[in-house]
Amino acid sequence: MKELNIPKYSLLGWSDGGITSMILAAKFPDVVQKLVIWGANSFILPKEIEAYKKIKDVSTWSTKMREPMIELYGEERFKSYWAEWVDTMEALFKAKDGNICSDLLKDIKCPTFILHGEKDPLVEGVHVSHLHTHITGSRIHLYPEGKHNIHIRYADDFNRLVQEFLLLK
């Protein structure tokens, strides 16, 4: 953003993009105006590692879930990327007791909007309350039937809520 000469900006991050956005907001509080995250967590639970291992082999995924990723990355690259991601999460869990960025949450000073699908198979609901408790002034919106892709399944409502939050003075 410095290169683009944009001194202040808001961040929207889904899943690992949410983690990256939280880290950036914590490390550079003077430039991040607002933060919107969904499907994100600041630590990993043991049962999440077990769930990741169960879906490491993408050939076991439904066609509906697998095909868009294959179209985007190619079959072999997608298989490789996903397996490496699972391995990385497991290594991070072992090396840091599952902590990804929980220690940085107190440093997030910007208004923060946390959205979450309550049936998310990758990110347990406990993460929402943890983020909300540790990010001062954050707010939450839950989708009771939502999974990990709430921005797709509930696109109109999701976009409306995010836009309202970002435009709020």
Whether 16 is catalytic is: no
Nearest to 34 by CA among 4, 6, 9: 9
Q: List the catalytic residue out of 15, 102, 107, 157.
A: 15
Q: List the catalytic residue out of 127, 141, 148, 151.
A: 148
Whether 15 is catalytic is: yes
Question: Is 28 in a helix, a strand, or coil?
Answer: coil
Q: How far apart are CA 88 and CA 30, in angstroms?
A: 31
* Residues forming beta bridges with residue 114, ordered by sequence position: 37, 140
Contact of 114 with 105, CB cutoff 8 Å? no
Contact of 35 with 10, CB cutoff 8 Å? yes
Whether 156 is catalytic is: no
Q: List the catalytic residue out of 21, 42, 116, 120.
A: 120
* Residues forming beta bridges with residue 35, ordered by sequence position: 11, 112
Contact of 35 with 111, CB cutoff 8 Å? yes
Active-site positions?
Answer: 15, 120, 148
